[in-house]
Structure 1
Amino acid sequence: MTLSTRSFSMGAGSERRFGIADVLVLFGLAALLYAGVRLAINAPPSVQEPVISLQPHVLPWYALRSVSRMLAAYLLSMVFTLVYGRAAAYNRRAEQVLIPLLDVLQSVPILSFLPVVLLGLRAIFPERLAAELSSIVLIFTSQVWNLTFAWYQSLRTIPKELREASAIFRLNTWFQFKTLELPFAAIALVWNSMMSWAGGWFFLMAAEIFTVGEQDYRLPGLGAYLHEAANQGNITAILWGVLALILTILVLDQLVWRPLMAWTERFKLEMVESDNPPTSWFYDLLGRSHILNWLNQRIFTPLDEALDARMARWFPPKPIKPVNGGKLTPVEILLGLGLLGIILYGATQAFHLLFSISWSSWGVIALGVGATFLRVMISLIIALAWTIPVGVAIGTNPRLASFFQPLVQVIASVPATAIFPIFVLLLIQLPGGLNLSAVLLMLMGTQWYLLFNVIAGASAIPQDLRYTARLIHLNKWEQWRTLILPALFPYLVTGMITASGGAWNASIVSEYITFGGRVVKTLGIGALITHSTAQGDYSMLLASTLAMVVTVVLINRLFWRRMYLLAEERYRME
Structure 2
Amino acid sequence: MPSLFSTHAGALIRGDAPASASGRLRRSVISDVIVVAGILAVLGAVAALLPQVNAAIGPQGIPSSISTDPHLLPYYALRSVFRMFIALGFSFLFTVVYGLAAARSRRLGAILIPLLDILQSVPILGFLSATITIWLVLFPGSILGVEAASIFAIFTSQAWNMTFSFHRSLMSEPPELDEAARLLQLSHWQRFWKLDVPNSMIPLLWNCMMSVGGGWFFLTASEMISVNNSTYVLPGIGSYVAEASERQQLGNIGWAILTMVIVVVLIDFCLWKPLTAWAEKFRITSNSSVSQKRSLVLSVIRQSHLNDVLATIGRPIADVLDRLTLPLGRTGAHWHVRGTRSRIGDVLFAVVAAAVSIFGVVLWFDYIREGAGIAEIWHVAGLGFLTFLRVMLLTLICSIIWVPIGAMIGMNPKLARFFQPVIQILASFPANFTFPLVTLWFIAWHIDINWGNLLLMSLGTQWYILFNVIAGASAIPDDLREMSRSLGMGTWQRWKTLILPAVFGAWCTGGVTAAGGAWNASIVSETVSYGHTTLTATGLGSYIAASTAEGNMPRTLLSVTMMSIFVVVVNRVFWHPLERLADRRFSLTA
TM-score, normalising length: structure 2: 0.84
1:566 equivalent to 2:581? Answer: yes
RMSD value over aligned CA atoms?
Answer: 2.5
Contact 1:159 1:572 in 2 (8 A): no
Q: How does 1:218-367 map to 2 (within 5 A)?
A: 218-290=233-305, 292-311=306-325, 313-319=326-332, 323=336, 327=341, 347-356=361-370, 357-358=372-373, 360-367=375-382
Cα deviation, residue 362, structure 1: 3.3
State yes or no: 1:157 paired with 2:172: yes
Aligned mate of 2:213, from 198, 203, 209: 198
Confirm or deny: 8 A CA contact 2:528 2:534 kept in the other structure: yes
Amino acid at match of 1:169: L
Letter of the structure 2 residue corresponding to residue 53 of structure 1: S
Aligned equivalent of 2:497: 482
Match for 1:118 among 115, 119, 132? 132
| 1:461 equivalenced with 2:476 (yes/no) | yes
Q: Which one has a bigger Cα radius of gyration?
A: 2
> How big is the shift at 1:51?
3.6
List alignment gaps of at least 5 residues for structure 2. Answer: 1-59
Change in Cα spacing, 1:334 to 1:458, as seen in structure 2 (3 Å) is closer
Match in the other structure for 1:131: 146
Give 1:377's match in structure 2, choosing from 388, 392, 404: 392
Counterpart in the other structure of 1:182: 197
Q: Deviations over 1:470-499 (max 9, x none)?
A: 111111111111111111011111001001
Return the alpha-carbon distance in structure 1 between the equivalents of residues 533 and 447 of structure 2: 19
1:526, distance to aligned residue in structure 2 (A) = 0.3
In 1: Cα distance, 2:199 partner to 2:365 partner: 45
Partner of 1:60: 74
* TM-superposition CA deviations, 1:333-357 (whole Å, max 9, x none): 9999999887766654432221132
CA displacement 1:205-258 (0-9 Å, x = unmatched): 100101113211011111111121222221111111111111111111111111
1:272-305: CA deviation from partner (whole Å, max 9, x where unpaired): 1111121111101100003x14413432333333
1:426 and 2:441 matched: yes
Q: Bigger CA drift: 454-463 or 384-393?
A: 384-393
Q: Any conservation in 1 of the 2:202–2:279 contact (CA below 8 Å)?
A: yes
Paired AA for residue 109 in structure 1: P
1:374 to partner: Cα distance: 1.4
Q: Which amino acid aligns with 1:364?
A: H
CA contact (8 A) 1:512 1:531 kept: no
Q: Please state whether the residue corresponding to 1:573 is helix, strand or coil.
A: coil
Of structures 1 and 2, the one scoring higher in RCO (CA 8 A, sep 6+) is: 1
Whether the 8 Å CA contact 1:93–1:324 is kept in 2: the answer is no
Question: Which segment is superposed worse, 161-170 or 427-436?
Answer: 427-436
Deviation per CA, 1:299-348, whole angstroms, max 9, x where unpaired?
Answer: 2333333333443x334433376647774899999999999887766654
Alignment partners' CA distance in 2, 1:50 and 1:511: 24
In 2, the alpha carbon distance for the partners of 1:523 and 1:544 equals 14
**1:88 equivalent in structure 2:** 102
Matched, 1:450 2:465: yes
After the TM superposition, which segments of 4 or more aligned residues of structure 1 sit over 4 Å from their partners? 324-347, 428-432
Closer/same/farther in 2, CA of residues 540 and 323 from structure 1, 3 Å limit = same
Q: How many pairs does the alignment contain?
A: 527
**Cα gap change, 1:322/1:480 in structure 2, threshold over 3 Å: closer, same or farther?**
farther
Partner secondary structure for residue 217 of structure 1: strand
Asked if 1:144 corresponds to 2:153, the answer is: no
In 2, the alpha carbon distance for the partners of 1:328 and 1:160 equals: 25
Q: Render the CA deviation track for 1:36-94: whole Å, top value 9, x for unaligned.
A: xxxxxxxxxx9532641111221121112111111111111111111111111121111
Q: Aligned partners of 2:175 and 2:588: how far apart in 1?
A: 9
Map Cα deviations across residues 74-133 of structure 1 (whole Å, 9 max, x no partner).
111111111111111121111111011000010111111112221122233215221111
Question: Letter of the aligned partner of 2:140 in structure 1?
Answer: P
Where do 1:393-404 residues align within 5 Å? 393-404=408-419
Q: Residue 19 of structure 1 aligns with which residue? A: none
Identity among equivalent positions (%) equals 41
Match of 1:38 in 2: none
State the alpha-carbon separation in 1 of the partners of residues 492 and 206 from structure 2.
27
Partner of residue 526, structure 1 = 541
Aligned amino acid, residue 68 of structure 1: F
Whole-Å separation in 2 of the counterparts to 1:240 and 1:220 = 16
Gaps of 5+ in 1: 1-45
Quote how far apart the aligned CAs of 1:465 are: 0.9
Give the C-alpha shift of residue 563 in structure 1: 0.8
Cα distance in 2 for residues equivalent to 1:320 and 1:572: 26
Do the aligned partners of 2:191 and 2:331 also contact (CA within 8 Å) in 1?
no
Superposed displacement of residue 360, structure 1: 4.8
Q: Offset at 1:424?
A: 2.4
